[in-house]
Amino acid sequence: MNNIFNFSIVSSFLGLWITTHVPESFELILGFFLIFTFGMIHGSNDLLIVNKILKNNLNYSKFALLIAYLFIVSIAILIFYLAPSLAMILFIIFSAYHFGEQHWDHRLSKSNTLIKSTFYFSFGMLILYLLFAFNDAGVKLIVSEITGYEIPNLYSNTILIVLGSFIGLVLINEFIKNRLAKEVILKELFTLVVLAIIFSSSSLIWGFSIYFILWHSIPSLIEQITFIYGDVKTDSTLKYCKSALPYWVISLIGMGVLYLIFSNEKQFYALFFAFIAAVTFPHAVVMLRMFSKKKAQP
């Protein structure tokens, strides 16, 4: 895990260097490229993970599983089209929990379930609101494009204080009970400082891309490959990518079809986040099951 942390830190500052040396238009292109490659690939093997989880269950069908997965994605896209405000709220809630779970699951295994789940959500929301706070105008613009409503105030400072206070109390409690080392807490606080610097210096999409790829997608890919194949050697990584390739291509085609169908009604940001949300909902559930399965393994 230390190697992942070091890689993320160094790569984040490389991203910061890019921010100071290239125009924002290039940041935007590079950000979307990373999201559509590493970001989408990390969520393209959900069905393989579910098959791994259910491998000893004789009462399930791979075809039925595929149909169920596509049905959930379709429902999510439909909700975004018919009730974009509700879909946006659900997307943020699911994403926040998913980000926090990925970041902390292996560190808070002994904590109370309710506190742990609330902590996951709070930590993920803290990261999102750090991004929002430094990109207030961009966030309001995207929300307006998606929902059609103007948001006068994001209340970023208040929400950050509340979230930060809760997270701080949980970390102090974990430290006092000897369930979390001081070094881990200091490392995570340093991570938040690094992300705040990145978010304050980057555009909205570029800042999100740096977090989403370096701090979420790549660590998640390593977790998934290890869960499926037992290691992260070159052979296992190639197998994972080969398995994910068809779903990744289908996802790209799906995004393109959505754009062609709804481009006259919706702005690109609205379509982009609608699609990302559609695949985030089932992915977050699959990852929750994966982490639960890992804990149950001897």
SS3 annotation, 147-169? HCCCCCCCCHHHHHHHHHHHHHH
pLDDT of residue 58: 58
Query: Does residue 26 fall inside a structural domain?
Result: no
pLDDT of residue 194: 92
**What does the pLDDT average to over 260-264?**
68
Structure token pair of residue 77 = 């896209």
**CA pair distance 256, 175, nearest whole angstrom:** 48
Domain assignment of residue 84, given as a range:
2-14+39-296
Query: Does residue 27 fall inside a structural domain?
Result: no
- Phi, psi of 297, rounded to the nearest 5 degrees: -75, 140
Query: Does residue 22 fall inside a structural domain?
Result: no
Q: Check residues 7 and 122 and name the one with the higher pLDDT.
A: 122
Query: Does residue 34 fall inside a structural domain?
Result: no
**What does the pLDDT average to over 136-145?**
86
The CA-based diameter of the chain, rounded to the nearest angstrom, is: 57
Q: How many CA atoms lie within 13 A of 177 on its CB side?
A: 11
Confidence grade of residue 132 (pLDDT, cut at 50, 70, 90): very high
Q: Among 252, 238, 296, 183, which Cα is nearest to 37's? A: 252
Q: What is the DSSP letter of 39?
A: I
Q: What is the DSSP letter of 177?
A: T
Residue 171, pLDDT > 90, answer: yes
Q: Which residues 6+ apart lie within 8 Å of 51 measured at CB?
A: 62, 65
Query: Does residue 142 fall inside a structural domain?
Result: yes
Query: Does residue 113 fall inside a structural domain?
Result: yes
**What does the pLDDT average to over 174-197?**
91
**CA pair distance 89, 129, nearest whole angstrom:** 13
- 212 vs 102, 205, 220, 292, CA distance in Å? 11, 10, 10, 23
- Give me the percent of the chain exceeding a pLDDT of 70: 91
- pTM value is 0.88
Lowest mean pLDDT among 61-75, 83-97, 98-112: 61-75
pLDDT of residue 134: 93
Query: Does residue 115 fall inside a structural domain?
Result: yes
Contact indicator for 240, 44 with CB cutoff of 8 Å = no
Computed over every residue of the chain, the mean pLDDT equals 84
Residue 294, pLDDT > 80, answer: no
**What does the pLDDT average to over 127-145?**
89
Q: What is the pLDDT of residues 28-87, one digit of tens each?
A: 888 888 888 888 888 778 878 888 887 766 566 777 777 877 788 788 778 877 888 888
Residue in the structure block whose two tokens are 């879909």:
87
Domain count, the chain: 1
DSSP 2-65: HHHHHHHHHHHHHHHHHHHHS-HHHHHHHHHHHIIIIIHHTTTTHHHHHHHHTTT-TT--HHHH
Task: Find how far residue 89's CA is from the centre of its chain.
Answer: 15
Query: Does residue 21 fall inside a structural domain?
Result: no
